[in-house]
Amino acid sequence: MSYAEDSMPHAEGSVSHNAEGSMSKSVIQTEDRQNGNGLRRPSEPLGSQVQSSFAEARQRRKIAELESKLVVLESGRVVKERQSNYYLAQGRGLRRIVALFDSIEDLVNENDKRYDDDSDEDATIDQDHLHTGYCILTRTLPWFLKTSSDIDHDDYMRMLKALRQGADGARGDDTAKLKTLISDWVNHELKPNPPVDSDDKNYRRFISDACGRVKAGIRDRSEGHIVTDLSFPAFVYDKYTANADNLEEGLFKGKILLQGYKAIFTSPSSAKDVEGDGDGADIIANNRRAKNYTSLDCICRLSITSWRSIDGDFDYIQFWRSIVDFFEKPPGREAQRRVNKLLEWWTRKVFGRSRREDLSNTVKANMSVNALARQRAQLDDAGFDSN
């Protein structure tokens, strides 16, 4: 009995101890569950708080650093895209007024060779064409030389690529623009039966009598219908005919040629009216290669292929150079005078009549702008006299 009584407090104590331990464990688990539900955490040791704050601050610094790098990369990408778009836009005129077939690299290399050799006495005709093209390039893009010198090689190559893409893209756009227009002009001018189909490449060329008439060589069609770059197509002549005794008469005055120029350099709608004439500035005289470009583009639209250096018996490059030499290398002063007169004719035809020089000084003095200035001065003088 005494043994049992002595052991009872021990058992009760054990039960009490176990109960208290369970209660404490239950409280801790409850607090842990509360922390998992977003309630306040139990207090942590000071060292753990410092370490946690340090890790959090370090992560924030890394995030800020990465964000700043991202901003720099993004701004650099935007700048490069802006530069690329600028070069693309600048390159669109290169095929039209600088060089139709020669690459910018070839033009630059030829100029570098001449600079290194310090002599051009032994230059070939092809090399002279390249050097002339380089001179026109630097006049057309005055920033090109300085930019090429300031940027590194990779940026230089990217610039050339963008210029080339812009040039080729513009040439493709011009060719596509003339595809339908020239067919319409031929149908309207010559009224062939059946009409020329702009979507049928095989129907263009000599298969169509109308296309054959305007594209055939003036003197060589009778020789087995062979048309090469040594014969001017009929459409470059006024009314598609030439004077065998004076082949310069009417040359480069063809209506389709004029319409093609206006469609490319002004607007397609302006090509409907090519009858305008009058005085004008020598705009085309300063951009004579643009007309040469139009001649080739018109031939391509009347041909089975487009923008290839050789199409059958016709060498586009040699034909292009023949036209360039006609304007840029006349044999003498009289020939140069005729070239200047032809360019003046083109300016008048493209930009229409200008009647400004027909106005007398009396008429100009009585026009509203000058009349208003005179009236205001008179009113001001009258007010001053009255005071």
Q: 204: pLDDT confidence band, cut at 50, 70 and 90?
A: very low
CA 195 to chain CA mean position, Å: 34
Residue 122 scores a pLDDT above 60: yes
Residue 38, pLDDT > 90, answer: no
Q: Reply yes or no on whether the pLDDT at 165 is more than 90.
A: yes
- Taking CA 298 as the corner, what is the angle to CA 295 and CA 301, rounded to the nearest 5 degrees? 155
Confidence of residue 151 (pLDDT cuts 50, 70, 90): very high
97 to each of 138, 263, 288, 364, how far by Cα in Å? 12, 16, 8, 38
Q: Which residues pair with 243 in a beta bridge?
A: 246
- DSSP-assigned letter for residue 307: S
- The partner residues of 246 in beta bridges, in order of sequence, read 243
User: Which position has the token pair 């006049």?
Assistant: 139
Distance CA 164, CA 159 (A): 9
- pLDDT tens profile 68-107: 877 777 776 777 888 889 999 999 989 888 988 899 999 9
Q: What is the mean pLDDT of residues 152-165?
A: 94
Terminal-residue alpha carbon distance, the chain: 141
Structure tokens at 101: 């077939």
* The two three-digit tokens of residue 129, written as one number: 């064409």
Average pLDDT of the residues in 48-66: 79
Gap between the Cα atoms of 351 and 356, Å rounded: 14
Total Cβ atoms within 10 A of residue 336: 13
Confidence of residue 159 (pLDDT cuts 50, 70, 90): very high
pLDDT single digits (tens) 340-372: 999 888 888 887 666 666 678 888 888 999 899
List strand residue ranges (DSSP E) for the chain, in order: 310-311, 314-315
R_g (Cα) of the chain, nearest Å = 41
pLDDT at 208 over 70: no
What is the rounded distance in angstroms from the CA atom of residue 140 to the CA atom of residue 307? 23
The whole-angstrom separation of Cα 206 and Cα 203 is 8
Q: Tell me, what DSSP letter sits at residue 196?
A: P
pLDDT-based confidence at residue 335 (cuts at 50, 70, 90):
very high
Whether pLDDT at 58 is above 70:
yes
pLDDT tens string 5-24: 444 444 444 444 444 444 44
Q: Evaluate if residue 250 carries a pLDDT over 50.
A: yes
In the predicted structure, residue 266 carries a pLDDT above the cut 90: no
How confident is the model at residue 338, as a pLDDT? Answer: 94
Q: What is the pLDDT of residues 59-72, one digit of tens each?
A: 888 888 888 877 77
Single-letter code of the amino acid located at 379: L
Cα separation, 206 vs 214, in Å, equals 9
Q: Among 135-139, 293-297, 360-364, which is the least confidently predicted range?
A: 293-297
pLDDT at 247 (0 to 100): 92
Q: Which of 101-105, 241-245, 302-306 has the lowest mean pLDDT?
A: 302-306
Mean pLDDT, the chain, rounded, equals: 75
Tell me the H-state helices in 92-228. 94-97, 104-117, 125-140, 144-150, 153-190, 209-215
Amino acid at 106: D
Q: Pick from 202, 198, 228: which is nearest to 215 by CA?
A: 228
Confidence at residue 108, expressed as pLDDT on a 0 to 100 scale: 94
Residue whose entry in the numeric block shows the structure tokens 């040039």: 167
Residue 54 structure tokens = 């340090």
Contact predicate 219/231, CB 8 Å? yes
Give the containing element (helix H, strand E) for 261: helix 255-265
More confidently predicted of 73 and 236 = 236
